[in-house]
Amino acid sequence: MDRVAIVTESTVCLPQGLVTEYGIHIVPMEFSYEGKTYRDGIDLTPSQFYELLAQAKKLPTTSPGPPGSYLEAYREASQHAQSILCITLSPKFSTTHNSALLAKETAKEVLPQATIEVLDSGTAAGAQGWIVLAAARAAKARASLAEVMDAARSLMPRVHLVALLDTLYFLVKGGRVPLVAAWATSLLNIKPVFELVPLQAEARMLHRARGRRQALERLLQVLQDKTQGDGPLHALVMHTNIPGEAEGLRERIAAQFDCAELYITDFTPVIGVHCGPGLLGVAFYMEAGPGHPKDQALTSAPQSAIK
């Protein structure tokens, strides 16, 4: 039996191969569109979702996994591990954290043999994915629950997410920016570049680039500015239904940086519903230097991870 199992949501943007390799238990988020509910990654793939989104007159609505879904994940995980760590999307984006906590309380009665902890990742999407993966790698190395939580927490302040948007149209439809802002950016062909601030789960505008080419250069410059350090880079390229552009970004990152890991994945539809098709981004961190040997041991990966 394993010492610790990892539970998280389908928002993490991790390639399925990594989810399978590290035995990560995924709670699917849900979408509702035209009266029908879909489970993320089960009933509807990300690419199918973004095709639907591009044609939708009314935005699909998203909802967190209910407490029962987390309880079921805990039940399944408890069959293989003594302890469980559930790492959630930031409460600023969703109520998933609350669902996970409610399920933990119920589990005290129905799964009394399992020790369960719930950790707010302080972020989302691929940045959350790296934190989950750090915990899962520690768990696979048979670390204790406390050590697994330390592995996750040590990465939280250092994992970044930077992305460019093709349009503000979907943010307008969701009521998150004024219509006049979308008109202005559309007329001037402005492509916003933003970052997700670590631990704060706060989207911050970095650049208003003219066209996608300039936006991509700004994105790469931000990546360069934030990766000054001794260790190699761990990067996860994310996109909303633009696999060709994602591959192009992956190739440029591979050429410009010393990468320990480099993957391509779909951006989580739960947040992508507000960003729309055409989003291109990267979640990344620098491997810790000599002063953090434990972090290096738990998060490093072979060069074969550059895919």
- The residue-averaged pLDDT of 92-117 equals 94
CATH 3.60.40.10 for domain 160-305, yes or no, is no
pLDDT at 304: 46
Which ranges in the chain are annotated with CATH 3.40.50.10170? 2-155
**Cα dist. 270→85, 221, 279 in Å?**
22, 27, 13
Residue-averaged pLDDT of the chain:
86
Token output for 129: 């994915």
State yes or no: pLDDT of 192 exceeds 90: no
Between residues 89 and 190, which one has the greater pLDDT? 89
Q: Which of 31-35, 187-191, 207-211, 233-237 has the lowest mean pLDDT?
A: 187-191
Considering the domain 2-155, what is its CATH architecture?
3-Layer(aba) Sandwich (3.40)
Query: ∠ CA 120-205-225 to the nearest 5 degrees?
Result: 85
pLDDT at 106: 97
153-171 pLDDT, tens digit each? 999 999 999 999 887 666 5
Which ranges in the chain are annotated with CATH 3.30.1180.10? 160-305
pLDDT at 173: 56
